[in-house]
Amino acid sequence: MMHHRNTKIIFTIGPATDTPEMLRALIREGVDICRINMAHAPREDLAGIVSRVREAGKDEGRDIAIMVDIKGPEIRTGEVSEPLQLKAGDLLDLACSEDADEQPDVPLVQVNYPGLINDLKEGSSILVDNGLLRFKVLKKTESRLQCEVEIGGKMGSRRHINLPGTHVSLPALTKKDYLDIEFSVAAGVDFFAQSFVREPEDVESFRRVLSEKGSSARIIAKIEDQQAISNLDDIIRASDGLMVARGDLGIECPYEDLPVIQKRAVTTCIRLRKPAIVATHMLESMIENPVPTRAEVSDITYAVAERTDAIMLSGETTVGKFPLDCVRVFKRIAETTEKLDNVATRVPLDLRNPKSKLVRSAARLAEDVDNASVIVFTRAGNLPQTVSSLRPVGTPIFAFTDQPHLVPQMRLIRGVHPFLIDFAEDGETTIQSAFRLLTEHGYVAVGSWAVLITTVLRRKRLVDGLQLRQVDPQE
């Protein structure tokens, strides 16, 4: 029978993977979600990319989900005529207004965020170019920040700025984001990853935009700074899932805190029944090399052992030389690490309503029966998410729905295999359809055990129940 991997794999599409042949190969290897990074992808190409991914899924008989990663607000330096060679102790002015005049012997660099002067205090740290350069604010004026270089180096144009520990007043979405969202909704994407989420209101404002456009796409909040960490639980509650974006997060926070933050984020997502994604620099060396480093293997193993829902490839599959090998590495590590799953390390859930407790009973029963699976029928996706958050050991979850948009969205949920079927008025007819699909495609063997979570109509009332049955399709 088919092997069931729990941890989902996300790849980022780019020049290395945006061909029909490569997309089909990636889907055969088992990728679950295609990410489109709007920081690099032109919005005019979006519809074509989505079409190619959908077509490849149809060719392979397995539709994968599509996630658009919105660039979000960011602070960057302006253009410089030639790179600046800075050394510790040098003075540098950052101008937040084009009217600022350059001082004698002190270089002046423009910044694209006028509110920077209001957000920073004297003594604040400014990190530039992914933390390679560090400045300290010595003095503020109406139009500029007078800084001292603490860590020097070469600074070119349009370098990314991080402000560790500083509350910034940037908007949740930019003009570019609104245009990208419009194109993405028209293309019918399944997820949006929202960059630089700092508080739950950022997600709520994004959700209002999607609601106005009639989109059912789900929102994955990316946590990338200390402000997001301080609001972590509320951000998770407001969103449909979380991405631990370790690039900016690793710059904004002390590096020794990063594994702790990652563990807390994944654990909180499980507890609040939301999917978690661990992303960035997972196989960075494989952009150029055919095998991973030992440290990368350990990093991936740690994420899978935490029982995160998904792990993500970025540059490895956009411009890397070995995109298929990266997916294979993810698979091998995930499948090996998942064998170590045990009930002792499971995150306890606070299940208060009777139906949630019934779902927990179903998951535990399936664990106790050899080679059993859990089968759920859903129109909203909540049931499979709850079963998954219980993290049953060695138990695949088969989720059946009659809602087409739910199938790709459930691909993000750990351990869940989603299917689209028609729901008949007679519940047994629907169950038999599910049994036939599972056995004909090799997901389970005829005669194997399954725990079904069902809702049936009894005397004009809906009644929730469990069924322990052998999978034996009847004609």
pLDDT 10s digits, 366-383? 999 999 999 999 999 999
Backbone angles phi, psi at 273, to 5 degrees: 60, 50
Name the helix (H) or strand (E) containing 469. strand 461-470
In this prediction, residue 387 has a pLDDT band, given cuts at 50, 70 and 90, of: very high
- Which residues have a Cβ under 8 Å from the Cβ of 325 and sit 6 or more positions away? 286, 290, 291
Q: Which of 43, 52, 71, 76 is catalytic?
A: 76
The CATH number of the domain covering residues in 84-162: 2.40.33.10
Residue 143 confidence (pLDDT): 87
As a whole number, mean pLDDT of residues 205-217 equals 98
Amino acid sitting at position 199: E
Looking at the chain, the number of H-run helices and the number of E-run strands are 16, 22
* Cα gap 444→369, rounded to integer Å: 14
Whether 459 shows a pLDDT value over 80: the answer reads: no
Residue among 19, 14, 143 nearest 69 (CA): 14
87 noted as active-site residue = no
DSSP 8-state code for residue 458: E
346 noted as active-site residue = no
Residue 343 confidence (pLDDT): 85
Whether 344 shows a pLDDT value over 90: the answer reads: no
Name the helix (H) or strand (E) containing 86. strand 84-86
Neighbours of 385 (CB within 10 A): 26
* Cα gap 452→472, rounded to integer Å: 13
280 noted as active-site residue = yes
Backbone angles phi, psi at 468, to 5 degrees: -105, 110
Contact between 181 and 205 under an 8 Å Cβ cutoff? The reply is: no
List the 373-377 sheet strands across, edge first: 416-420, 397-401, 373-377, 449-458, 461-470
Residue 333 confidence (pLDDT): 98
Tell me the CA distances in angstroms from 196 to 131, 157, 161, 172, 369, one per residue in order.
Answer: 17, 22, 13, 8, 44
Matching residue, tokens 């972590």:
232
Fold of 354-471: Pyruvate Kinase; Chain: A, domain 1 (3.40.1380)
Least confident of 32-46, 135-149, 295-309, 461-475: 461-475
Residue 271 confidence (pLDDT): 97
* Cα gap 144→334, rounded to integer Å: 50
As a whole number, mean pLDDT of residues 458-474 equals 86
Q: Which of 280, 318, 378, 439 is catalytic?
A: 280
Residue among 265, 224, 242, 237 nearest 39 (CA): 224
Whether 1 shows a pLDDT value over 90: the answer reads: no
Q: Is 301 helix (H, G, I), strand (E, B) or coil?
A: helix
As a whole number, mean pLDDT of residues 9-17 equals 98
Backbone angles phi, psi at 206, to 5 degrees: -65, -40
Q: Which of 35, 134, 411, 414 is catalytic?
A: 35
- Which residues have a Cβ under 8 Å from the Cβ of 275 and sit 6 or more positions away? 220, 240, 241, 242, 269, 309, 310, 385, 412, 413, 414
Give the residue extent of every domain in the chain. Answer: 8-72+172-339, 84-162, 354-471
Whether 457 shows a pLDDT value over 70: the answer reads: no
Burial degree of 228 (CB within 10 A; 0-12, 13-18, 19+): buried
Q: Which of 134, 222, 273, 307 is catalytic?
A: 222
In this prediction, residue 289 has a pLDDT band, given cuts at 50, 70 and 90, of: very high
Q: 50 vs 3, which has greater pLDDT?
A: 50
Whether 425 shows a pLDDT value over 90: the answer reads: no
Its CATH class, for the domain covering 8-72+172-339, is alpha beta
35 noted as active-site residue = yes
Q: Please give the structure tokens belonging to residue 169.
A: 């007043």
* Cα gap 378→356, rounded to integer Å: 14
Residue 104 confidence (pLDDT): 86
Residue 462 confidence (pLDDT): 76
Torsion angle of the four alpha carbons 338, 339, 344, 345, in this order, in degrees rounded to the nearest 10: -20
Residue 454 confidence (pLDDT): 87
Specify the pTM. 0.95
Neighbours of 305 (CB within 10 A): 13
Cα dihedral across residues 172, 176, 181, 184: positive or negative:
negative
Contact between 67 and 192 under an 8 Å Cβ cutoff? The reply is: yes
Amino acid sitting at position 474: Q
Backbone angles phi, psi at 192, to 5 degrees: -120, 135
